[in-house]
Amino acid sequence: MSFGDHLDELRKRLLRAVIAVVVSILALAPFHDQVMAIVVEPYRILWVRGFEEYLVAIEERDKTPAGAEPEYKAFVQWCRANGQRVLDGSYKADLVHLIPDRSGYKLPYELMAAGGVEDFWTFLMASVIFALVLSAPIVVWQVWAFIAAGLYAKERAVFYRYFPFMTALLAAGVAFGYFVALPFGLGYLIKMQVPGLVSPWLTVGNYFNLLFSLTAALGVVFQLPLVMLALQRIGLVRHEMMVKNWRMAVLLIFALAAVISPPDPFSMMLLAVPMLALFVLGLLLTRTGRRRERLPGVVP
C-alpha cells in the first residue's frame, strides 16, 4: 500500500470507531439516573460505611453521661427508628437531604452540584467514558485491523496471547480503584476533618475527576507485570537485574503511589500494597521466561 492508501485506510478505521462511540453516547442519553448512580456508587459505599460506624458510636455514647443530653437523645432515637431504612436504601428519596440534621451524621448523603450545569457536564463526561467501554470491541478491532496489517504473523500471535491478560489487569485495576481505593481513601480524608471547624462539602464534578483519575491510573498501573515481562523479552532488563534492584523498585512504587493517591498515608499504603503484589507477580513471570532472555549483543 502507498502512503496515500495508508491514510485512506486510517481515515476509514477512525470514522467507524467514532461512529461506534457516538452511537453508544446517544444510546446512553435516556439513562441519566442509571449512569449517575454508577458514578456515585463509591461515594455511597463510603457514606454507608461511615454511617454504620456512626450508629455504633452513638449507641455507645448513649450509655455514658454525655449521652443524656436532650439533643443527643433525639439523635439516638431517630437513628434507632430509621437507621436500618437509611442503610438499606428504603428511606424516602425526597427526605434524604434531611438525614445529616436528623441523625447528627454530618456527611451529606448526596453530592452537591456547584452551578446549574455541573451535573450535566459530569453526566456528559461519564457518558463518553461509558460509551468508550460499550464500543470498545468495535474500536479495538478497528485499531487492531489497521496495525495488524503491518505486523508479521509471529508479532500478531504475541498480541493475541497477551491481550486477554492486558484486559483482565486493566479491569482489575479499575475495579480496585472503584470499590476499594476511592471509598477508603476519601473516607479517611473526611474523617481527618475536624467537626465544628471543617464540614465536608463534595461537588459532583470534583468527585468525578478524582474517581476518573484514580481508576484510570490504577488501570494503567496494574499493567506492571506485563510491562516487566515485555522489558525482559526485548532485552532491556533481565530477571536477575530486577531481583537485584528490588529495593529501588519498592522505593519507586511508594513514590508512584504517593503521586496518584489522595494526599494521606493511608491512601498511599492502600495503593502501594497491591502494586508490590503486582511487582512480585512480575518477578514470577520473568523468572519463568529466563530461558528466553536476550543476551546483550546477541541478535535473536
- Encode the chain (300 residues) as per-residue pLDDT tens digits: 667 777 888 888 899 999 999 999 999 989 999 999 999 999 999 999 999 998 888 888 877 776 567 778 888 889 889 888 888 888 888 888 888 888 888 888 889 888 778 889 999 999 999 998 999 889 888 888 888 877 788 878 878 888 888 899 999 999 999 999 889 888 888 888 777 777 778 889 989 998 998 899 889 889 999 888 888 877 788 888 888 889 999 999 898 888 877 667 877 888 889 999 999 999 988 888 766 665 554 444
Amino acid at 141: W
**Of 267, 263, 159, which is closest to residue 218 (Cα–Cα)?**
267
Q: How far is CA 213 from the centre of its chain?
A: 7
- Asked if the structure places residue 46 within a domain, the reply is no
Distance, in Å, from the CA atom of 123 to the CA atom of 32, rounded to the nearest integer, reads: 7
- Asked if the structure places residue 205 within a domain, the reply is yes
- Asked if the structure places residue 211 within a domain, the reply is yes
For residue 222, give Cα distances in angstroms to 4, 231, 247, 279, 299. 38, 16, 19, 9, 31
- Asked if the structure places residue 78 within a domain, the reply is no
- Asked if the structure places residue 22 within a domain, the reply is no
Q: How far is CA 96 from the centre of its chain?
A: 26
pLDDT of amino acid 117: 85
- Asked if the structure places residue 132 within a domain, the reply is no
- Asked if the structure places residue 122 within a domain, the reply is no
- The partner residues of 203 in beta bridges, in order of sequence, read 112
pLDDT of amino acid 60: 83
For residue 180, give Cα distances in angstroms to 41, 72, 90, 167, 184. 12, 33, 25, 19, 6
- The partner residues of 112 in beta bridges, in order of sequence, read 203
Distance, in Å, from the CA atom of 245 to the CA atom of 284, rounded to the nearest integer, reads: 15
Boundaries of domain holding 216:
153-292
- The 10 Å Cβ neighbour count of residue 216 is 16
- Asked if the structure places residue 228 within a domain, the reply is yes
How many domains is the chain built from? 1
